[in-house]
Structure 1
């Protein structure tokens, strides 16, 4: 049975704001129970989680924000964006909401790196993470396949590329990351574009893309966070994603002790919108395991 969609126009009315270092951050929270922090990817926003939002809120206290430079949050032009700062944003949001207990993480794409930083801080005693599930993302920069638009944004003319970025560019670049039978509707693509251009977001795309070299810079720290024992981890991976699909899962299984991975055949870079029922099922199965249990298995679904 498919999961109900939350239209973007409705999603936006349910958000709230808090101030992070003088910048407005838009966030959402619902449900009760153990806190579950959802961390979105690039270049979209927390609306990516809308299919999973209600069913997860029936079981957990779900929390999500549009990170700085994304969605309906502030997008300052004269700002040096950093994944490390985005981890600060997440911790500030938890503090704002009075969450002081261990938090579970569910992350995608750009958010995977933020989650890796939070895991590293957990092992340093600077954060309190209970578990973490990753969806498709560049967990290992040496295994990521960069898109042409990413290369262009990283170039000296990236500022110009970002400012001339249009809806057709979003369509062309996002479509190629989806599975062949799970591509988004034109309406969904319009909504993605709405989130990108909110608060004149195309002006900062070339700055946000700095996360790619930042992944390389902090690679050992963030991969090391995956290799330390004590935190249950799972990778739920859309296998046909050309950016971080089956080849990224294979690298995960090579480098992470006792890897727990789930491959979704025919699914691309956005499992939570392409196959939300499967993602929900595999996430809940993960959460039903004892927290001290770290299985060694590979599942296909």
Structure 2
């Protein structure tokens, strides 16, 4: 069994709004689950668009060696999770999904590692954590957030042509007719020139996107770009006003959220903690996994403890 098949075979499932959600849980590879209490360190990994929890596979062994427990779900509409056609996909609902997973697993304190679309989910989770903190509610505490390339600020997000097409009036047709070749060209273009995905990588990305007829929902999932504009104040404040330790690790060659987004992050976020990956594109965890893992672990060892 290859690593991709093993990732799926060792996954588990929980139910969100009546739909089955795939997730990986390191605890079931190594004994009884930890819950983020009594010194346990739990990490939640939140993937991006249009991929899935598989994005974390290259970092997984290193993360599992550092944290007591590591969780990573395929959000609804992605990967091996349910992809219902009649469903109101939203960042708010994906945040509900992540909180449901944590609460069902008894996790009360959590660290977050997020990428792309997952960054926006993490921003909403941070906003909710602030509301709980102000209310004296410690039922779910976020202890740190580490972000990889993502559209943290709508004014710096440079959508790809296929994203603009999906978000427009022809979105439903574009979803239905999207070809594998177009998908691979679009996804490959956001990687760095020297760190392109292999043919096998692209094959797996396509399978994750198309499984369960998932590509038909592309125009619904892409609504997150409009959500970012609607909720900009809330989600930017989640970064600029939080006492939670933050780090941004960013592939600077990313045409979507690379160096230009980092410049805006430095302008807005107080005392910004940024690690710039000079020769990397949109997927640091896949293009430069050793550097990315080192940046994540150094953040936790020096700033989080």
Query: Shorter-chain TM-score: which interval?
Result: over 0.9
Match of 2:26 among 30, 38, 41: 30
- The yes-or-no answer on 1:90 pairing with 2:98 is yes
Match of 1:130 among 134, 137, 143: 143
- The yes-or-no answer on 1:235 pairing with 2:243 is no
- The yes-or-no answer on 1:72 pairing with 2:80 is yes
The residue matched to 2:71 in structure 1 has which SS?
strand
The residue matched to 1:84 in structure 2 has which SS?
helix
- The yes-or-no answer on 1:155 pairing with 2:168 is yes
| 1:43-54 alignment runs, 5 A limit | 43-54=50-61
Q: 1:132-155, CA deviations, whole angstroms, 9 ceiling, x for partnerless residues?
A: 010000000100111100111011
- The yes-or-no answer on 1:55 pairing with 2:62 is yes
Unaligned ranges ≥5, structure 1: 1-5, 293-301
| Contact persistence 2:130–2:242 (CA under 8 A) | no
Match of 1:9 among 1, 5, 9: 5
**In 2, Cα distance between equivalents of 1:290 and 1:246:** 23
Q: 1:23-75, CA deviations, whole angstroms, 9 ceiling, x for partnerless residues?
A: 11001110564110000000000000000011111121100000010001011
**In 2, Cα distance between equivalents of 1:256 and 1:109:** 18
Cα RMSD for the two superposed structures: 1.2
**In 2, Cα distance between equivalents of 1:106 and 1:18:** 21
- The yes-or-no answer on 1:18 pairing with 2:18 is no
The residue matched to 1:24 in structure 2 has which SS?
strand
Q: 1:224-257, CA deviations, whole angstroms, 9 ceiling, x for partnerless residues?
A: 0101141000000000000000110110000000
Compared CA separation, residues 217 and 107, structure 1 to 2 (3 A): same
How far residue 291 of structure 1 moved from its aligned partner, in angstroms, is 3.2
Comparing 22-31 with 83-92, greater Cα deviation is found at 22-31
The residue matched to 2:59 in structure 1 has which SS?
helix
How far residue 290 of structure 1 moved from its aligned partner, in angstroms, is 4.2
**In 2, Cα distance between equivalents of 1:173 and 1:96:** 37
How far residue 203 of structure 1 moved from its aligned partner, in angstroms, is 1.1
The aligned counterpart of 2:221 is 208
**In 1, Cα distance between equivalents of 2:232 and 2:141:** 21
What's the TM-score once normalised by structure 2's chain length?
0.92
**In 2, Cα distance between equivalents of 1:171 and 1:19:** 31
| Contact persistence 2:245–2:303 (CA under 8 A) | no
Query: Where do 4+ consecutive residues of structure 1 move more than 3 Å?
Result: none
Unaligned ranges ≥5, structure 2: 28-33, 35-39
The aligned counterpart of 2:31 is none
**In 2, Cα distance between equivalents of 1:54 and 1:262:** 22
**In 2, Cα distance between equivalents of 1:144 and 1:266:** 20
Q: 1:184-215, CA deviations, whole angstroms, 9 ceiling, x for partnerless residues?
A: 10011000000001111011111000000000
How far residue 97 of structure 1 moved from its aligned partner, in angstroms, is 1.2
Q: How many residues align?
A: 286
